[in-house]
Amino acid sequence: MARPKDEVRLKMDYTKSFFPFNTKNSKSLDALKDIEERSLWTSAMQRLIQNKAAYISALLILFLAFVCFVGPYFLSWSYDEIDWDLIEATPPSINNGHFLGTDSLGRDLLARILQGGQVSFQVGLLATMVAVLIGVTVGSLAGFLGGWVDQVLMRIVDILYVIPLMFFIIILMVIFGRNFYLMFIAIGFVEWLTMSRIVRGQTMTLRHKEFIDSARVSGSSNTRIIFKHIIPNILGVVVVYVTLTIPQVILLESFLSFLGLGVQPPMTSWGALISEGAREMEITPRTLIIPALFLSTALFCFNFLGDGLRDALDPRDR
């Protein structure tokens, strides 16, 4: 496992060594750690690939995202363009370029679904990032520092847990207008609670490990220990949680859009499309069923992937 940069690595982070032995042999230990580290992730990866549902889901998500972001460039209609020849819902046809037909205003359904997918994926990723940022920071601070910091932060989390925050998101959306960016920040602010609890638990078990002691002895500050030693070690849990949070966020956004509180026309999202489709299902069930199919597929895939990752990174749970 000799690598050209081993010397440099050794100087930089021998305190990070996972092994509580003395550091005299740290060069060989470092190499050992290298193997250990790699095998953890490699074996997790192998387990993930063996899990067919999770693997296929991951590929499908990538495919869906690719289609949503690239597809619109290949369509002859844009999502807000009205086909004045077909001012009512028309069935799919190859000839006029409406591969999934049009909605009741003569707009291309496929283009709208792809646009809606972009919104859903963006909200999913960005809101999850907000949630992870807050959740990991609060959780690791509370878990690592303990004492009154832990008490205060966790009581705040307890209180927020009890409040039905969906109501507050709706109030926020009403007050500050249906701003796209505000929406994902608001959703992110709601979703961080569980994350912070999980991270706190993990941090508390790590806090008393020897490699943390050794980092402290060698003079690392608390901030450095948290960011350099604690957070890299809880990444696995965070990754699993991220894949399980993204579908929740997509669902929340669709929920808001369904109620008319999310994205505003002519912009659209999967939830908004389902809401429009539900109003016209008597005449054209297609406008309800096709967006619902897209949304459900994406949610299924994220859930299977999340479950698969959890099994892969934490074999105990099986």
Quote the least distance from Cβ 168 to other proteins, whole Å. Answer: 7
Comparing CB distances to other proteins, the nearer of 10 and 53 is: 53
- Asked whether position 289 contacts other proteins by CB under 8 A, the answer is yes
Q: How far is the CB of 261 from other proteins (least distance, A)?
A: 7
Contact yes or no for 49/309 (Cβ under 8 A): no
Span from 107-115, 138-146, 182-190, 298-306 in contact with other proteins (CB under 8 A): 298-306
Say if CB 278 and CB 103 are below 8 A apart: no
Q: CB–CB of 121/68 below 8 Å? A: yes
Among positions 225, 240, 288, 312, the unique one binding other proteins when judged by CB under 8 A: 288
Residue choice 2, 217, 282, 316 for contact with other proteins (CB under 8 A): 282
Query: Cβ of 245: how many Cβ atoms within 10 Å?
Result: 26
- Between residue 255 and residue 274, which ones bind other proteins under the rule CB under 8 A? 255, 258-261, 271, 274
Q: How far is the CB of 273 from other proteins (least distance, A)?
A: 11
- Give the chain's largest Cα–Cα span: 80
Residues found in the chain: 318
Of 124, 126, 128, 131, the residue nearest 269 (C-alpha)? 124
Question: Closest approach of Cβ 288 to other proteins, in Å?
Answer: 6
Least separation in angstroms between CB 138 and other proteins: 18
Q: Which C-beta is closer to other proteins: that of 235 or that of 259?
A: 259
Chain residues 237-256 in contact with other proteins, contact rule CB under 8 A: 247, 251, 254-255
Inter-CA distances, 261 with 120, 147, 275, 289, Å: 15, 41, 11, 22
Nearer to other proteins, 94 or 159 (CB): 159
**Residue 4 binds to other proteins (criterion: CB under 8 A):** no
| Cα distances (Å, whole numbers) of residue 37 to 16, 48, 227 | 12, 17, 18
Q: Which is nearer to other proteins, 130 or 244 (CB)?
A: 244
55 binds other proteins (CB under 8 A): no
Alpha-carbon Rg for the chain in angstroms: 24
What amino acid occupies position 227? F
* Alpha helix stretches (DSSP H) within the chain: 6-13, 26-50, 52-70, 109-145, 147-162, 165-175, 180-207, 210-217, 222-224, 231-233, 235-258, 270-279, 286-313
126-185 positions binding other proteins, by CB under 8 A = 155, 158-159, 162-164, 166-168, 170-175
Q: CB 256 → other proteins: shortest distance, Å?
A: 10
* 15 in Cβ contact with 220 (< 8 Å): yes
Q: How far is the CB of 279 from other proteins (least distance, A)?
A: 9
Among 118, 202, 245, 303, binds other proteins (CB under 8 A): 303
147: left (phi over 0), alpha (psi -120 to 50) or beta: left
Q: Which positions touch other proteins (CB under 8 A)?
A: 155, 158-159, 162-164, 166-168, 170-175, 247, 251, 254-255, 258-261, 271, 274-275, 277-278, 281-282, 285, 288-289, 292, 295-296, 299-300, 303
